[in-house]
Homo-oligomer: A and B are copies of this chain.
Amino acid sequence: MELNGVIIEDEYAEAFPNWSCRVIITAINEKWAYQAATEATGFATSAIGCPCEAGIEMFLSSEETPDGRPGVAVLFFAGGKKKLKEQVVERLAECVLTQPTTAVFDGMPDAEERIDVKLHFFGDGFEYKKEIGGRSCWAIPIMNGEYVGEENFGIVKGIAGGNFFIMGESQPCALMAAEAAIEAIYEVPGCMCSFPVVASGSKVGSNKYKFMPATTNEKYCPSIRDKVEETKVPEGVQAVYEIVIDGVDEEAIKESTRAGIVAASKIPGIKLITAGNFGGNLGPYKFNLHEIL
């Protein structure tokens, strides 16, 4: 099929279950909520080499947060509950509590599965319970006043690895299309792009270096298109970007995939959009592009 003149391949993204946790970070202004969110979700592009996957889901106005201050919602993903809890604890302790004027709130109050994130012992006995916007929090005296936070967070079985590939006739075209995609995905609740744009695709293992667990996926590399027999790069494509999406449910992945592809297809110079899978035997979730659009 075609969308705004761009070929959309009849392919599907193959994705995997992953535990997910949403944290609402507020601060005296958007700038500092964003700063804490950025620090807390850094070094978290891919669970392959990073301790977890994390990213900003959306900005929240002061009318949308428990304490009536500007906020940012962030999402953390990990394969196991234990790893997820460990990372949420470490990242809130080191990268949010330490930041100016922050507070944190549970972003999944209706979730049945829950994890404890007990930071209040840091108060060394000076901490106390405090209700904020109907939430039961701990207030911990720190240098710039009080850090306030909930300590019990809902988690849900979400999905990691939703994806689509944007193939453009040049690097600027493909890059502006990828930017348009992630700008559109920011508007969709329940998901985030941890990279946010992926410039290098991997295959499992290596043909040449047996000690490497993963190497470049030569089939998607335009610069060596002529040397690779089964290249997936069409003629005239000079740059490919992948958008990888983690979401709290199937609906979030579908809607963000749709919004991202529509936005990308409007940028001049995009030739083809497709999705990535492993033949369908590995991941239980399949997101077919034609069905979604």
Contact = CB atoms under 8 A, between A and B. Distances in A.
Contacts of A30: 183
Interface in A101-132: 101-102, 121-126
Interface stretch (A14-22, A151-159, A219-227): A219-227
A78 interface: no
A277 interface: no
A173 B268 CA distance: 10
A38 to B, nearest CB: 6
Nearest to A52: B43
Interface string A199-223: 1110000111101101111101111
Contacts of A187: 61-63
A182 to B, nearest CB: 11
A43 B91 contact: yes
Interface string A33-44: 000001111111
A10 interface: no
A28 interface: yes
A51 B43 contact: yes
A212 B38 CA distance: 27
A275 to B, nearest CB: 14
Interface of A: 28-30, 32, 38-46, 48-51, 61-63, 68-70, 90-91, 93-95, 97-102, 121-126, 140-147, 165, 169-180, 183-184, 187, 195, 197-201, 206-209, 211-212, 214-218, 220-224, 227, 238-242, 259, 262-263, 266-269
Given A140-B200, A140-B216, 4 more contacts: A29-B176, A62-B266, A124-B216, A176-B176
